[in-house]
Structures are given as structure tokens and as C-alpha cells.
Amino acid sequence: MSAFHRYTDYKPTGVSWIESIPAHWEMKKINDLFSERSEKCSDKDFMPLSVTKFGVTKQLDTAVKSKDSDNRKKVLKGDFVINSRSDRRGSSGFSEYDGSVSLINIVLCPRENTSMYYHYLLRSHKFIEEFYRNGRGIVADLWTTRYSEMKNIYVPVPPIEEQNHIYEFLRWKTSVFNGLIPEKAITKGNMIASSKSLLAREMMLIDEYRTSLISAAVTGEIDVRDIVIPEYEYIEDSDEGMDDSTDTEEMDAQED
């Protein structure tokens, strides 16, 4: 990240996953920024959604369907949804739709002044690891982080104008990266193509840089406030053909 400047002053947080933040930022619990939406509904009334590493989408054809379609969680446009089965894939995102998700997911309703900055923070590598650390389970496949544990995780809170600029900066950079990397060629950061391929290696390095840049920006390791964002045409993430886009709904009825 040598191309970017750091903030002038930092302060300790007392939190292990992010030891220091810019001096003018705050730390708050997730419960201060979001409330849990736990209302139940049927997918006959609210269309089924999938929660993937690319965000919240209309239900994928590859999704393992829940057996209890009348026992789902309601999602409203603007809610943040995260898979409580802490698999470290980062299956989460803000929803652009009203709909329903399986009970294995946590649905969060943003409180006032909770911005889209958290779209990147809560999907960053550092937060994913902290989310996983707060979970519990007998074996890895059943490792779960519930809202009762998630709500007490401390996260950084920049001033709202700065949150918005960080989000716009990362949205621009993500669009640039999306234009360089065909997402269907990457699964969990590992190239489907042969690792001996020069192109595969280049794409993996770009993906690693993108992950590091997002983490550095949302945690205040770099200062992007003075970066001018040019006009650009946004290129979205693509979940077409991706193994990692599969949304798992098995055993949902047991999760609540």
C-alpha cells in the first residue's frame, strides 16, 4: 500500500482484530449500528433470496432449497444479511430487494447514519476472521456465529462524510478490478485455472491486492480522503458459474 498515505494520528482501540484507528474515528458495537430483524415470513409472500460472497441476490438455481418455505426470515431493501454459518467465505451484503432468506442467516436493519461503508467493512477479510472467532460449534462444518455474539463485536466508525467517501473510493476501485478479473475464474481466492498459467497468477495477484486494499481502507490503515474519484462506468461482480456463489439452506429449521 505504498502508493497511499497513512493518517497523521492514530489511537489504540483495545480491540484485538483492529488494534488502532485514526484518532478522529470511533469504535462502536454492531448493536449500536444495526438492529436485528427477526420477523418470519413465507417465500410465497417474499421472494427467496440467496446470500453469497458476491452479496444478496435473487435465489440462485444452484441453491439447496429449504424444506420449510413458510419459515423464513424477512428481508427489506437496505438490510444487511450475513450467513451465520461462519465459513469464512464472506457470504453477506446489503440487499437491493425485499425478500426472504433461510433461517441460517442474520438480518440486520441499519440504524440512522449507518452507511454503505459497512458493505465493505463487514465483508473485509479482517472482519470475516473476527466474525468467525466469535462463533462456536462442535466441528468446523457446524461452526456458527449468532447475533447474540455478533452484536458485541466492536467496529470502526469514521465520520459519516468520510464513510461515504471510503465507500465511493472502494466502489470505483472494485469496478476497476472487476474489469480486470473474470470472477468466474476464482473460487475462494484460488484459481480454477492451472496455477502454472501466467494469466492465472496475474489474476490471483490482482485479487489479493483488491482484498488488501479494501481491508486497509475500511480499517483506516490508509487515508483516501483526498483521492479524487473520476467518472466511471460501474462493472458489477459476477456470480455466474461460481461454486462459491452457492447458497446453502440445509437444516434451516434447526437454526432458530
pLDDT at 88: 75
Among the residue ranges 12-21, 134-143, 161-170, 242-251, the one predicted with the least confidence is 242-251
For residues 37 and 46, the answer to whether their CB atoms sit within 8 Å is no
- Closest C-alpha among 20, 18, 19, 77 to residue 47: 77
pLDDT digits (tens, 9 = 90+) for 100-112: 999 999 999 999 9
Phi, psi of 171 (to 5 degrees): -65, -40
Over residues 230-239, mean pLDDT:
80
- Domains (range + CATH), the chain: 10-254 (3.90.220.20)
Sign of the C-alpha dihedral computed for residues 178, 222, 83 and 191 taken in this order: positive
pLDDT at 231: 92
Name the CA dihedral angle for 168, 173, 174, 180, rounded to a multiple of 10 degrees.
160
pLDDT digits (tens, 9 = 90+) for 189-212: 444 444 456 667 777 888 889 999
